[in-house]
Structures are given as C-alpha cells and as structure tokens.
Amino acid sequence: MKKALRKHFSLAATAFTLGSVLVAPTTTLVSAQEESEDGVLNFETAVTHEGEAIEGGTLRYALVGDPFAGVLNNLLYTGNPDASIIGFFNEGLYGYDSSFAIDNSGFADIEFDVDNKQVTISIPEGTSWDDGEPLTIDDVIFPYYVVGHPDYTGVRYGSDFENVVGMAEYHAGEAEEISGLERIDDYTLRVTYINFNNSMLQAGGGVSSYVEPEHILGEVPVAELEDHEAVRTNPVGFGPFRVTSITPGEAVTYEANEYYYKGQPNIDNLVLEVVNATSIVAELKAGNYDLATLPADQYDTYKDATNFSVIGQISNAYTYIGFKQGSWDAEAGEVVPDDSKVTSSKALRQAMAYAIDNDAVGAEFYSGLRQNANSLITPNFEAYHNFDQEAYTYNPEKAKEILAEAGFVDNDGDGFVEDLNGEPFTLGFASMSGGEVAEPLAQYYIQMWGEIGVSVELVDGQLMEFNSFYDRVEADDPAIDIYQGAWGTGGDPNPTGLYGRTSAFNYPRFASDEHDALLEAINSDDSFEEEFRVNAFNEWQAYVHEELPVVPTLFRYELVAVNKRVSQYDSEIGSDLDWTQISLTADSPVAE
C-alpha cells in the first residue's frame, strides 16, 4: 500500500528493532506459508476477506516493540516506530513501483531533465492539510530550509541535500536563500542539482520526498522544532488519518481525514497501541487487534491461526554487527576515524565474522525464516545486489588463524587474546531488548566470540531499550565497541546515506579515501549509465566485504497479521491499494 499502509521512504534510512518480524529473502512468492525447494517459507503479499462492509468502524493497529520516542515528523525522527506512526497521518511526495523507482502514482508528479541536472515537481491544486489549510508548493520548499538550516537538530542533512545547488552556502550561513530552488508557481518547483546520478530515480534517493506544513512549523525556530508540540503532541499532515490524541510512548488515536487528497477513508477511526513482542500473538488471537507485524521467533505459535491471515513481503532490510572505529565530528559534519581502537583492526572484524553461524541463527532462532546475508545491498535491488558474493560463514579455525597472523595472541593463558600492544581487552557489546530471542541471541554471539578468544561482554550487563540503544550508539558512547543493529534501507540502494563520510547514520564511524572514491563513483553522473552503475555497486560491495565496517548477518522478510474482519490488505512494494479501498466487516476484530 503506497505511502499509506506501508512506511514511506524518506531520504534517511530507518532503524529497526531486532524483534521485527521478517523472513529470509526470496524473489519468488508462492501461496501463503508454502515451503520452497530450499526450505524457505514464502507468503502471499496480499489478502482479501469475505464479508459485508460495515459503515465506519475503528481499526486497531498494534505497533509491536518498545515504547516509541514520539518525534512525529519526517524531518526529525530516527526510529522505525515513529515512522510507522507518521505514515498514517503524513505521506511522502511520490509513488513508486515494485523496484522503488519513482512514478507518478503518488501525490506529486516529477519530471527529470538529465541534461540540465534538474527535476520539476508538480503537486495538484486544491488540496489541503488535515487542518483545512491549503497545501502549496511552499510546503515542499520549506523542508529544504529546515534540513539545511545551521540550527537543524536532525540527521537528514547530508550528501543528498548538499547536492542541491546553493544548499552548502545556505547551510554555512553564507546565503539567505537556496539558489537551486526555483518556485515556478503555487504548485510547481524546479530543483537544480550539482550531480545527477541514477539515485534520483529511486524513492528515498536524491530527490527530497518531504512535504511539511509551513503555516505551522514555519513559526517555530528550527532549533526548537524537535521538542515543539507540533512535532510531539499535535502534528498536522495530509495523509489518510488525522491525529486526535497521543499517549506518549504508548498510543496514538486517529480519525479519518476528510481532506485526504484520495478521498476520505471508509474507516472512521484508527487506534494504534504499542504491544510487546512477547504478547502480540496472544493479543491477536484474542481479537484485540486488526493489524500487526509478527515476530519471526514465534512463528510456530501463529502459523495455524484461524482468525487472522499472515501475509509477507520481501523487506529491504538487514541486521548487522557494527564495529565502532571512530567518532562523529558534529561541527565538521563528518566521521573521524580512530586507528587506535582495537575494533579498527580489519583482522579482528573478519575473525569475529567467521566466528558466528548465521545460517544456524536463522534456523534455530527464527524457525528458518531468516537467512545469512552476503551483502549490505539487499536482494530487493536485483540489478545491484551481487548474488555471487559469498557470505561470511562459520569457520572458527579460520577466525583463529586470522587473529594469530595479525598479532592477536593469548599471552597470559586466560583463554582470551590480547590486543596488538599485548594488552588485555574486553569489547563492550550493545544489543537491543525486544522479542523472545533477543537475550539468547546476544549471548550466543558473545559465546561464539569467546570460543575464538575474543572477550566480549554486554554493555551494562544487559540489553538496551530501543531508544536508549540508538541514543548511545549515535553519541559514540565509549562503553560501546560493537553493537547489533538493523537497517531498513528505504527505496534507494545507494549506500552513501548510511556509510558515507559525511553521513551521521555512519554509526561505525568508518571512512577511508578508497571508500570515498567508491561512493563517489556510485554518486557520479556516469552512474546514469546502467553498466557503469552495476560495476560501481559491485566494486563497493567487494570492498566493504573485505574491510567489513559492519558484518551483515541476516536478510529479512516482513510478515503481517491481518484480522479477518479487514476487507483487504496488501503489503507489496508499490501496491496501489490505499485506505479509501479498505473497510471493516464487523464491529470488533474476530477472535480465535
């Protein structure tokens, strides 16, 4: 469901909790819950339920995981829970197809002018925000001035925005306007770029998809936006639903937006509540919720459910182990590598990758619903994912050899190697709470690293809550040497936004001249030529596979529970189904 039921793709990637429900990737979907030849389960991406629609009604949506942070604005949020909440009341500008390529099926139309490095964005006339105020092209221009402002507190400013002509000067305080933004009329904007690579064609790529209510947010100093009531308690959007109340961290209630540009939804109200991953299956079976993501580690408990259907889609997401190798210089806006860190040793990183058995993790912890990842480019992007690149597989003897050859030796006989200076070390490991397997999975990794002689302990001796985890990882907490995270990569395979030198999302703080050059090729004008682009992606994948700033661990496939009173639902990427086409067939969710 484009931009309404699915998360929309912003220029920033999205962080996931490890308890999110996803399955091993495959590009062929068969009937729901069938098993393919390689033993991987496959699921239908859509479902239709029989029954006569009632008038209105309230849909109950379970947001599975920890309490949400409540930064309910596309320019400022960092976590997927907040993104899920935003998706119901505010959307992105563009529609996209099953390959995440921008098309004209969404709110705005877009024209590409490769020769002049320009895009022209047109929005429909006569549309409104959910408070009834007119929506104009000024609301599309406004986000550029927020993200580019010197006082901006979010993480969206980076290479994509700096690619707009005049943005760097505005960001530095050297210009009052962004020269590359040309307001044609109330409904048309022309943007001129410095570089014009093929990422411009992708949802979540180089063209900003943001639209925000200038008539409200424009009255707030940029430095104060993140904590303002228009972001935290009373947000305004132009999506299918309007926020009516927020219980911080716990729940959001919505009502149908009569100003929605596609028409008012059939469902009167929507209630979103945070539900712990350990209890969501019982809640669904009891008929307490209509929609929810499903935890892969509990698959056996819901695979035969009778009151809800299970559908799935390939997820452009992966889990990974990250190694802290430097810090973030906020003033300079770039990564500062630190070669003195023990985790800055490529040999150590490779050895730790060979020490873990991700095939076994997928089979034992996730009922075979996840699979060893071989790349940081997900298989959704078939043209750019290198299917021939081998993943790191379990090989403890090779891991020990790599350590020994690099100089990591157990000199004192305690079973753990010392660093390259002969000093003992213990790595602080940060991992998130959530789901039944979070704790045993973290302990499994610690055990396996210990078996090759690398001492690892959980930071503070326990798992971290989602928001605390990312706060500390983003702040380069010195207690964290390695961490287990997950990325939803949005609609663009370009890795610059996650791993570029000037990206705040580059949490490992990895950078090198060679890496800069490889990313520069991906972002060059030459990348509009398909063969060049594919080669550039393959070269980058090979480099990070060798250098290993992070270890990709598991590919994922999202599963969704749809109660049988929901008339229809579609999780496929690029689906045209929206909330104006969905109804309820009973006054409350069906119980088992």
447-459 pLDDT, tens per residue? 999 999 999 999 9
Average pLDDT on 141-167 reads: 95
Is position 114 within any domain?
Answer: no
Q: Which two tokens stand for residue 270?
A: 């929507």
Task: Dump pLDDT digits (tens) for 209-222.
Answer: 999 999 999 999 99
Task: Dump pLDDT digits (tens) for 255-308.
Answer: 999 999 999 999 999 999 999 999 999 999 999 999 999 988 788 899 999 999
How much is the pLDDT for 164? 98
How much is the pLDDT for 41? 64
Average pLDDT on 158-171 reads: 94
Closest C-alpha among 96, 122, 104, 95 to residue 190 = 122
Instruction: Give dist(CA 315, CA 562) in Å, integer.
Output: 18
Most confident of 104-113, 202-211, 522-531: 104-113
CATH code for the domain in which residue 551 is found:
3.10.105.10
Q: Which two tokens stand for residue 401?
A: 């050899």
Containing domain of residue 511, as a range? 317-556
Is position 110 within any domain?
Answer: no
How much is the pLDDT for 371? 87
CA 222, 223, 229, 235 torsion: positive or negative?
positive
**Which position has the higher pLDDT, 240 or 80?**
240
pLDDT band at 40 (very low <50, low <70, confident <90, very high): low
Average pLDDT on 54-83 reads: 96
In this structure, the number of other CB atoms found within 10 A of the CB of residue 565 comes to 23
What is the residue type of 114?
V
How much is the pLDDT for 324? 98
pLDDT band at 109 (very low <50, low <70, confident <90, very high): very high
21 pLDDT higher than 60: no
367 pLDDT higher than 90: no
Instruction: Give dist(CA 77, CA 344) in Å, integer.
Output: 30
Q: What percent of the chain has pLDDT over 90?
A: 78
How much is the pLDDT for 490? 79
Indicate the range of 5-9, 272-276, 495-499 predicted with least confidence.
5-9
Instruction: Give dist(CA 463, CA 440) in Å, integer.
Output: 11
How much is the pLDDT for 558? 84
Closest C-alpha among 414, 403, 412, 486 to residue 452 = 403
Is position 517 within any domain?
Answer: yes
pLDDT band at 530 (very low <50, low <70, confident <90, very high): confident
30 pLDDT higher than 70: no
Instruction: Give dist(CA 429, CA 432) in Å, integer.
Output: 10
Count of residues for the chain? 592
Beta bridge partners of 317: 488
Instruction: Give dist(CA 592, CA 590) in Å, integer.
Output: 7
How much is the pLDDT for 25? 23
Q: What string of DSSP letters covers 438-478?
A: HHHHHHHHHHHHHHTT--EEEGGGS-B-HHHHHHHHHTT-T
Average pLDDT on 238-263 reads: 98
Is position 64 within any domain?
Answer: no
**Average pLDDT of the chain, as a whole number:** 91
With beta carbons less than 8 A apart as the criterion, state whether 384 and 534 touch. Answer: yes
With beta carbons less than 8 A apart as the criterion, state whether 139 and 211 touch. Answer: yes
Closest C-alpha among 488, 479, 540 to residue 510 = 540
Check: pTM over 0.85? Answer yes or no: no
Average pLDDT on 357-362 reads: 94
138 pLDDT higher than 60: yes
Task: Dump pLDDT digits (tens) for 378-410.
Answer: 988 888 899 999 999 999 999 999 999 999 999
How much is the pLDDT for 32? 41
Closest C-alpha among 322, 335, 324, 319 to residue 479 = 324
Instruction: Give dist(CA 4, CA 25) in Å, integer.
Output: 24
434 pLDDT higher than 80: yes
Q: Which two tokens stand for residue 369?
A: 């619903």
Q: What string of DSSP letters covers 193-247?
A: BS---GGGGBTTSSS------HHHHTTS-GGGGGGSHHHHT-----SSEEEEEEE
**Which position has the higher pLDDT, 547 or 160?**
547
How much is the pLDDT for 391? 96
Average pLDDT on 410-418 reads: 96
pLDDT band at 522 (very low <50, low <70, confident <90, very high): very high
Is position 391 within any domain?
Answer: yes
Query: What b/e sequence results for 132-149 when a residue is b if at least 16 CB atoms lie within 10 Å of its CB, and e otherwise?
Result: ebebbbbbbbbbbbbbbb
How much is the pLDDT for 42? 74
Instruction: Give dist(CA 459, CA 221) in Å, integer.
Output: 37
**Which position has the higher pLDDT, 366 or 20?**
366
User: What is the three-class DSSP state of 154?
Assistant: coil
Task: Dump pLDDT digits (tens) for 315-331.
Answer: 889 999 999 999 999 99
How much is the pLDDT for 338? 98
In this structure, the number of other CB atoms found within 10 A of the CB of residue 387 comes to 9
Indicate the range of 109-113, 177-181, 312-316, 420-424 predicted with least confidence.
312-316
Instruction: Give dist(CA 523, CA 158) in Å, integer.
Output: 13
11 pLDDT higher than 50: no
Is position 450 within any domain?
Answer: yes
Report phi then psi at 26, rounded to 5: -155, 150
560 pLDDT higher than 90: yes
Q: Look at the chain and report how many structural domains it folds into.
A: 1
Is position 405 within any domain?
Answer: yes
Beta bridge partners of 243: 254
Report phi then psi at 313, rounded to 5: -145, 150
Is position 96 within any domain?
Answer: no
Report phi then psi at 55, rounded to 5: -90, 120
For residue 453, the Cα-to-chain-centroid distance in whole angstroms is 34
